[in-house]
Amino acid sequence: MKTVWLHTIDSTNSEALRRLPELPSGTVLAAYDQTAGRGQRGNSWFTEPGRNLTFSIVLKNLPLSALEAIRLNYLASVAVASFLDGKGVKAHVKWPNDIYVSGKKISGMLIENTLAPDGRLAAAVIGIGLNINQREFPQLANATSLACCTGREYPLEDSLEEFLALFEDLLPGLSSEELRDSYSARLFRRGVSARYHDLLTDEEFEGIIEGVEADGRLRIRDLRGTARLYRFKEVSYLL
């Protein structure tokens, strides 16, 4: 992988998408300051300049169909969780791809794909925001960082290279059962009875998250013993 550090950019994902034709697979665009970071569901991603990791990994010619693209979430989520493990911090994945430590969000991802005419993924831009050294989150009650968890500070460049080494190690197993199992094992609230909102039927229910199916759907077993399967935006967590 080849990392290019940018001083200031609107969004590393937007920049990677603009420059996609010219960027070789394995290019990583990282920014010290992102002025218009983009998050899930059209939200913004704000971080203090120079304190956190905000970067996008460009991958091309992946052996994935559009339906299999969810595996990139598994890969990126497991890589972030392993990186945090290495720092002594236990992280969980709030399905599909928010990374939480002790109930607070430390990392989020925005994965944007382009499709080839045959339905395969032509390119993926895997955008990751990982809070490293920021200590205060005035507008975000539910956010945290590695420094908040450990009381230490970390050089951003070395941290990114460490993360990328883990990511690269996992890449050959992109379609493996093992990766899906590692992802399932990290799911927030896995094996614990909790309440959910089925957004398809507008019904609240109690159940236990068991893992993800091969097609990426989340499997929650309700109290009647029925396995309920959900795609993104079909279920939400209740407190």
Q: Given candidates 43, 65, 226, 236, which one binds ligand BTN under the rule CB under 6 A?
A: 43
Supply the angle between the helices 177-185 and 70-86 in degrees, to the nearest 10: 60
Q: 163-192: which residues touch ligand BTN (CB under 6 A)?
A: none
Residue window 100-119: x/- pattern of binding to ligand BTN, with contact defined by CB under 6 A: --------xxx---------
236 binds ligand BTN (CB under 6 A): no
**How many residues touch ligand BTN (CB under 6 A)?**
19
Closest to ligand BTN by CB, 37 vs 207, is 37
In the complex, what is the shortest distance from the CB of residue 87 to ligand BTN, in angstroms, rounded to a whole number?
A: 19
Angstrom distance (rounded) from CA 170 to CA 141: 32
Closest to ligand BTN by CB, 12 vs 82, is 12
* 137 φψ region: left (φ > 0), alpha (ψ -120 to 50), beta (else): beta
Angstrom distance (rounded) from CA 81 to CA 99: 7
Angstrom distance (rounded) from CA 221 to CA 203: 15
Q: Given candidates 26, 39, 49, 211, which one binds ligand BTN under the rule CB under 6 A?
A: 39
129 binds ligand BTN (CB under 6 A): yes
Number of H helices, E strands in the chain: 5, 12
Angstrom distance (rounded) from CA 231 to CA 201: 14
Closest to ligand BTN by CB, 11 vs 82, is 11
Whether the Cβ atoms of residue 236 and residue 197 lie closer than 8 Å to each other: yes
Please report, as ranges, the residues that interact with ligand BTN according to CB under 6 A. 11-13, 37-40, 43, 45, 54-56, 98, 108-110, 127-129
